[in-house]
A and B are shown apart, each in its own frame.
Chain A
Amino acid sequence: MTERTRKVRTYHEVADPDSEDIVGQIEAQRSKLVGRLADIDRLVVVASGKGGVGKSAITANLAALIAERGRRVGAIDGDLHGPSLAAMLGAERTPLVVSEHGVEPAVGAAGVKLMSMDLVLSDGAPLEWRQPEVAGFVYQSTLDTGAVRELLADVVWGELDFLLIDAPPGTDKLARLLELLPVIDTLLLVTTPSEAARRAVGRTVRQAHGTGISTIGLVANMTAHECPDCGRSEPMFEADGAARLATETGLELWAEVPFEPRFAVATDAGRPLVLEAPESPAARELGRLATKLANATSDTA
């Protein structure tokens, strides 16, 4: 038998940096993102864990309202595969100017600065990545996370009082978004009174507690429906899931936004309800939510 005694130094015994310097390059990406967000006073994430509860509609209306009140507001559509913020903020589709400083954001209702995949994808096309033919799905989340990082870091946001981020549904995607962000001033969790929402959002609350975000507000959406004939307010759901969720989690219910048909009609057409019908019950409640948000975040800042 031949003797084999050669000993190769181990990875950690070799002090030289890695050939590809992955760590260095990732750190560079990170510091670019941190630098870009440094001029932003308050970072607010609007999430849920449940789909279709009104995250985007509430983000769009809050952004427009806060901007209307004279603050500098930006909004990011974190939902790459179901973007809706650009349409709800009525952003015009013109080529985005790219300079050496980055990509200039689009401008939506009330002057909100906006970035969304919707603005760069071919009209109506889904987001598709160039990826290997075999097992392309393996890369999907890496690419998605990279894209969200770029939406945050490569856009010329300038100085902002608020940057609102519309998070995609699902705790997995939310986790990746939260990981990317250096600080989060406020997390707004949107829910409805339904039992299904209570369960799904409950999971997100647990997830959020694990990340150490200090300020979390619950927003109950589509709580009541006002009868157009008699004006009586009827609950939309028999369950009181939102109130239960607040009790179970010890979180405060920051707003209860009623269901209003014209909320969807106006917002989905790019005219946020808070601008179109500021005196409507839902808009007034969103106004209270905006005030609450401004006060809450300044307390912790």
Chain B
Amino acid sequence: MKFLCIDCDEVMTFAERELPGDGTLAAVFECPDCGREMAMLTNPMETKLVSGLGIQVGGRTVPDQPLELVRSSVTTGDEQAFADLPLTAGTVRWSEAAAERLQGVPGFVRGMVKKIYGEYAVERGIEEITPEIMDRARQDLGLEGM
């Protein structure tokens, strides 16, 4: 898919992604010439079709994780199936509220989610992960269903 600003005859570039959490997705595109913005809104089925291919709208922003599709999309996984090794890139603290929220993530995918948030924080020099950071990371990284 390409988005063309008709007035400028320019291809609009991907600007940001929003995940309201109901399975839908908003991808914002911007004209590099006139600055006009538009949003592409996808319904849950369209969103799923793309994520089912292991693909992210707007391009990949996190390196893909081992068994990412399986871990993020299987609902009948064993809570104890995986033992994720800790981050090698650096260390981050988890605030109590953030740690609590992480506990709400199914064990099948928790270790992977923790690692993705951890890498996000380390890359940006964030020392402590809070629920707000988690929200921001989810939007920035396009983590649907994690």
Q: List residues of chain A with CB under 8 Å of any chain B CB.
A: 6, 8-9, 11, 14, 16, 18-22, 24-26, 28-29, 32, 95-100, 102-103, 119-123, 125-132, 134-135, 138-139, 142-143, 146-147, 149-151, 154-155
Question: B74, B84, B112: which contacts A120 (Cβ < 8 A)?
Answer: B74
Instruction: Give me 5 other A-B pairs in contact (C-beta within 8 A), A18-B2, A120-B82 excluded.
Output: A25-B54, A122-B76, A132-B23, A146-B53, A155-B66
Determine which of A8, A25, A98, A142 lies in contact with B66 in the assembled complex, contact meaning CB atoms within 8 Å. Answer: A98
A sample of 9 inter-chain contacts (CB < 8 A) reads: A8-B6, A19-B1, A20-B14, A20-B57, A25-B60, A120-B108, A121-B78, A134-B45, A139-B52
Q: Do B85 and A142 touch (CB < 8 A)?
A: no
**In chain B, what residue has the closest Cβ to A104?**
B83
Q: When the two chains form their complex, are residues A143 and B57 in contact, meaning their CB atoms are under 8 A apart?
A: no
Residue pair A150, B88 in contact (C-beta under 8 Å): no
Q: Is B139 an interface residue (CB 8 A)?
A: no
Q: Indicate whether B62 reaches chain A with its CB closer than 8 angstroms.
A: no
Complexed CA–CA distance, A24 and B145 (Å): 23
Whether the pair A95, B80 counts as a contact (CB closer than 8 A) is yes
CA gap between A76 and B111 in the complex, in Å? 24
- Which 10 residue pairs of A and B lie closest in terms of their CB atoms, listed nearest first? A95-B83, A16-B11, A125-B76, A154-B66, A120-B81, A142-B52, A102-B66, A146-B69, A128-B76, A98-B84
Closest B residue to A6 by CB, please name it. Answer: B6
Within 8 Å CB of B59, what residues of A?
20-21, 24-25
Residue among A19, A97, A122, A147 with most chain B CB within 10 A: A19
Nearest CB of chain B from residue A77's CB, rounded to whole Å: 13
Residues of B within 8 A of A32 (CB): 64
Contacts of B88 in A (CB 8 A): 100
Chain B's nearest CB lies how many Å from the CB of A117? 8
Q: Which residue of B lies closest to A102 (CB)?
A: B66
A32 to B2, CA, bound (A): 26
A126 to chain B, nearest CB (A): 6
A130 touches B29 (CB 8 A): no
Whether the Cβ atoms of B82 and A19 lie closer than 8 Å is no
> Does A143 lie within 8 Å of B69, measured CB to CB?
yes
Contact at B54–A29, with CB atoms within 8 Å?
yes
- Whether the Cβ atoms of A14 and B11 lie closer than 8 Å is yes
Cβ contact within 8 Å between B55 and A130: no
Please, which residues of chain A bring their CB within 8 A of the CB of B54?
Answer: 25, 29, 146, 149
A98 contacts which of B4, B55, B76, B82 (Cβ < 8 Å)?
B82
B1, B66, B67, B112: the one contacting A18 at CB < 8 Å is B1
Given A19-B58, A122-B76: A97 in contact with B69 (beta carbons within 8 A)? no
Contact residues in B for A132 (Cβ distance below 8 Å) = 23, 44-45, 48
B73: interface (CB < 8 Å): yes
Distance (Å) between the CB of B55 and the closest chain A CB?
5
Whether A98 touches B77, Cβ cut-off 8 Å, given contacts A131-B48, A139-B49, is no
A129–B45 CA distance with the chains assembled, in angstroms: 13
| Candidates A6, A128, A154; contact of B75 at CB < 8 Å | A128
Chain B: minimal CB distance from A158 (Å): 14
Report A-chain residues with C-beta under 8 Å of the C-beta of B99. Answer: none
Chain B residue numbers with a CB within 8 Å of A150 are: 66-70
User: Residues of A contacting B66 with CB < 8 Å?
Assistant: 98, 102-103, 150, 154-155
Query: Do residues A98 and B112 form an inter-chain contact, with CB atoms below 8 A?
Result: yes
Q: Which A residues touch B23, using CB under 8 A?
A: 132
